[in-house]
Amino acid sequence: MSTVQSQPLSPAELAELDALLVESEFQSDILPKILNGEGDIPGPLWWLLHATETFDEHWKDKGLSSPYRAFPDMPYWPRLFRHFVKESRLYLPKSREMIISWSAVGFGVWSCQVSPRTRFILQSEKDEKGIALIKGKGVPGYARTLYERQSPRLQAEFRLTKPMDDMPEDQISWANGSVIQCVPAGARQIASQHPSIVAFDEAAHIEGYAEALSVAEPVTPKIISLSSVAPSDYWDLCRRPQKVETPLRGVEEWRTDRGLFCRIHYSADPAKTPTWAEEKKKTWISPAMWSQEMEIDADALAGQLVFPNFKRELTVCEPFPIPHEWTRYFAIDPHPRTPHAFLWLAVSPFGQHFAYREYWPSRLYGLHGDLPEDEELHTIPEYVGVVKWLEGDLEWHAPGETKTLRDQEDGPIDLFAPGGFADNGGKKEHIYRKIMDPYGRAVALDRIDGKEGEVTFWDRYKDLGLDCEPAVKDWHSSTNLVNELLRPHKWSMAGGIEEQSVIRIFNTLPELILELETNRYPKLTPNMASKNDPSDTPLPKRKHLSDLLRYIEMSRPIYVDRTPPPAEPPRQIYEGIAW
């Protein structure tokens, strides 16, 4: 009788068997702990679903009785939290509105509580967003909410180092030595932290993400990169290959030598049906924006208009003298290599926003084309003189001088024929808020012995009477906001109901109109494209005035009634009491 001699397993077969054994152990032992916990210690997903709550900033708009809500139960949570626990390198390209940031912060808080000396470092696109994910400012942050909405028993079990109100805005620390903390963008910020876990929130929008990732990888046991997508280094990593696994509806996964990729599409949420998507898509700025943000297509916006909702017939209007009681806003975009740009906007009592004056002394003002290399530049006192002249502040004079604008026969108007409708009615305008690109704080006026001087553009403008607040530079939010305000709205006018946008622009502002009509998305992200802003090469695009419109709108301009209350004659309230 013949016998069959068994053959030794090949290295590949041995590796596959080891993987099956590891997976079997994970399914039978580790996964139940993720879902349910062990002993008195809840697992991360059970803890989020049953032991704490989230905070809804829009609870009043939704008619809810409280801002606190239970963490929603989604079919993709078990798989996602399995990856949080198991994977050392995890990439999560996603649709918006999938609550992935909440889940990642929740995993971070849970890890800090149950594992002593855990250091969870979170990096986001903006410092303000990072703070909002940790302790928060004003509105409670994600991590703070999740900690404080636990039961008193769990809070006592996982004590903090000090009261929450005494913690800094960007971190929370536990008595067991654990810390959850956000850090600014930049590779050096991560290298100095010695993290246990690093999470990149909105990685596609973090300037320097690729460098920060390369610094974090050798020193960090676990890295989680999550983001809606946009052309970026992150998107280059997350491009979907031809062969993927689909473990759940709306979830696709693949593995490379960089780690595990888990793509979470909005269809993974049972409530987001095709009917929901069709209705929701109608409310978005453009089909291309929907494709990028919701369909996870980072190339959808390449070459598309930045402001597709701009229509001359809805937005551009004939100029008129702006009433002096309207609330005025003003913004500056300084630059060392191109003329500085200025924009004025007034808010009417009815809530419309009128861009009524612009000033950008370029030879290319209002014309198509790339900026010339030999552009004539001016001094900040010259710019301020023109601004003050346009605003009717004829008593202004430069420090150290006595001759006012009123004393000068021609005045600084000879510097450049100002664009925009400059009629100030012969009265000094009251500017409610002045805003400047914070880049002005980073640019020195001069170099001394090869080193940057201490006085910046920002300082010089302030010394000359233009004391500004920094602009909120959030590209995604500001472009969405401007596009929303460019949509048609119904207004009751003298001739009946008319459709107009909230933003109106005088037809004497050719540069702003040109930029709104021609600004397009490059293949680079806005952050990457901004690095080419013309210090080294001519601008292939111009967006100085459209940037200023974004900055003003991000300040949420409103009409402020400055009418003094009517004077009432004094009257005696009670006999024997002073008037």
Q: Which residue has the higher pLDDT, 236 or 108?
A: 108
3-state class of 14 per DSSP?
helix
Question: For the structural domain made of 312-554, what CATH number should be given?
Answer: 3.30.420.280
264 or 6, greater pLDDT: 264
Task: Examine domains 79-281 and 312-554 and report if their fold is the same.
Answer: no
Q: pLDDT for 165-174, tens place per residue?
A: 999 999 999 9
Say which range, 103-117, 266-280, 555-569, has the weakest mean pLDDT.
555-569
Rounded Cα distance between 504 and 30, Å, is 59
As given in the structure block, the two tokens for residue 449 are 């012995």
Residue 351: count of CB within 10 angstroms of its CB = 12
pLDDT at 198: 96
Stretch (H or E) spanning 298: none
Of the pLDDT bands very low, low, confident and very high (cuts 50, 70, 90), residue 468 is very high
Task: Decide if 472 contacts 555 (C-beta within 8 A).
Answer: yes
Strand, helix or coil for residue 45: helix
Local confidence band at 535 (pLDDT 50, 70, 90 cut-offs): very low
pLDDT tens for each residue of 75-110: 999 999 999 998 999 999 999 999 999 999 999 999
CA distance 67 to 62: 10
79-281: CATH, from 3.40.50.300, 3.10.28.10, 3.10.20.90, 3.40.140.10: 3.40.50.300
In the predicted model, is pLDDT for residue 278 greater than 90?
yes
Q: Which residue ranges make up each domain of the chain?
A: 79-281, 312-554
Beta bridge partners of 270: none
* CB 93 within 8 Å of CB 263: yes
Percent of the chain with pLDDT over 90: 50
The Cα-based distances of 78 to 34, 44, 48, 73, 271 in angstroms read: 8, 10, 12, 10, 18
The helix/strand/coil state of 409 is coil
Residues 118, 261: Cα–Cα separation, whole Å: 24
Are 232 and 299 spatial neighbours (Cβ–Cβ below 8 Å)?
A: no
Rounded Cα distance between 61 and 69, Å, is 15
- Judge whether 251 and 76 are in contact, CB under 8 Å: yes
- Of 302, 139, 122, 128, the C-alpha closest to 227 is 122
Amino acid letter at 260?
A: L
Instruction: Extract the tokens encoding 235.
Output: 């998107």
Cross-strand bridge partners of residue 359: 342
For 157, the 3-state DSSP assignment is helix
Is the confidence at residue 322, as pLDDT, over 60? yes
So what's the pLDDT on residue 572?
58
Query: What ranges in 53-126 are assigned the alpha helix state H?
Result: 77-86, 100-114
**Beta-sheet pairing, 341-347 with 197-201:** unpaired
This prediction has a pTM of 0.74
Q: Confidence band (pLDDT; 50, 70, 90) for 537?
A: very low
Nearest to 182 by CA among 126, 230, 236, 110: 126
pLDDT band at 528 (very low <50, low <70, confident <90, very high): very low
